[in-house]
Structure 1
Amino acid sequence: MVEPPITREDMFAPLLAADESFRPLWSAFLEEWADEAELPLYIALHALDEHIQEYLEAGRNEKLDAIFSVVERWHLHGDHYVRVAATVGLLEGLQNRLGAKPDKMAALERRLGPDCRRWWKRLNRFWQGDTDALSGLADRPSSP
């Protein structure tokens, strides 16, 4: 049986299962944006990249592998929105947040799955002037 793609409506469910400590942040986000017809998930992704940085700063790596397993699934099985959000919303946010902290950046990079690592490197190329580095991100079909 082919699994349907992960959509924006259900992308945070596996993350909450992987890391219960993100649930209070998610609940606060839902409460703050309850009146919106469509949740601004990039704001939630910003909270997630802060959460990941807190893990890195505290040297608490126990949940990072589980979190990045979910992010890898977003890249591999997400629909158009989820793939772009995982790259531009989360990975790029982490690069911006950790750019001046090479040790934390290296610790995070070691936890990236193959697809996440590929888009991480493409983001780096994009910011070095390769305007084609992110081509294909939104166009590729999600895989089951």
Structure 2
Amino acid sequence: MSENNVNALSFEFDRSNMFVPLLQADPSFREKWETFQEEYRSDEELPLYLAMSELALHLIQDLETGDTHRFDAVFDVVERWHINGDPYVKEAATVGLLEDLQNGHLHRKTRPDDFLPWLQPETLGWWNKVHEFWATGKPII
């Protein structure tokens, strides 16, 4: 394994850098991200859970239009958030993103489970925990 790969595996995402790889994976989200940053520029900290909701809506819209060619890269980032993220990033990826992707009220032409083909192992585990929470009330974390 090269030194770059070792560094990538040990890298930890936090609030300050978690959207950098996402914007590389899905440049079409950049305009929404910039609008979000502008809207909340006066806040002490960006409410990233709201940004995750924006991302979920963006991905649901892409799924509805069949524009899924970036999904492998996007969900690779989501997997890295779950594995290499600090506690805030991990929770935001689960409660902020996955929970909204599973919200059936946000889907018009699709179903939440339509995202399953792109979920990697760690993310799939958290997806299932969110699903179980909604079905039984069992706490996610």
What interval of TM-score do these two structures reach, taking the shorter chain for normalisation? 0.7 to 0.9
Deviation at 1:64, TM superposition (A): 1.1
The aligned amino acid for 1:91 is L
Conservation of the 8 A alpha-carbon contact between 1:48 and 1:90:
yes
Query: Please, which moves more after superposition, 78-87 or 120-129?
Result: 120-129
Deviation at 1:99, TM superposition (A): 7.5
Deviation at 1:62, TM superposition (A): 0.1
Q: 1:102 to 1:75 in 2, by over 3 A?
A: farther
Alignment of 1:51-130 (within 5 A): 51-97=58-104, 104-130=111-137
State, as a whole percentage, how many aligned pairs show the same letter: 42
TM-score, normalised on structure 2? 0.87
Deviation at 1:101, TM superposition (A): 6.4
Q: 5+ unaligned residues in a row in structure 1: which ranges?
A: 136-144
Secondary structure in 2 matching 1:109: helix
Deviation at 1:105, TM superposition (A): 2.6
Deviation at 1:38, TM superposition (A): 0.5
Conservation of the 8 A alpha-carbon contact between 1:5 and 1:79:
yes
Secondary structure in 2 matching 1:5: coil
CA offsets per residue over residues 33-78 of structure 1, 9 Å max, x none?
1111100001111110011011100011101111111000000000
Q: 5+ unaligned residues in a row in structure 2: which ranges?
A: 1-5
Q: 1:100 to 1:35 in 2, by over 3 A?
A: closer
Aligned partners of 1:97, 1:49: CA distance in 2, in Å?
12
Aligned partners of 2:56, 2:94: CA distance in 1, in Å?
12
The aligned amino acid for 1:62 is H
Deviation at 1:4, TM superposition (A): 3.4
CA offsets per residue over residues 95-125 of structure 1, 9 Å max, x none?
0146766954333111101011111111111
Q: Which of 6, 21, 25 pairs up with 2:28?
A: 21
Conservation of the 8 A alpha-carbon contact between 1:75 and 1:86:
yes
TM-score, normalised on structure 1? 0.85
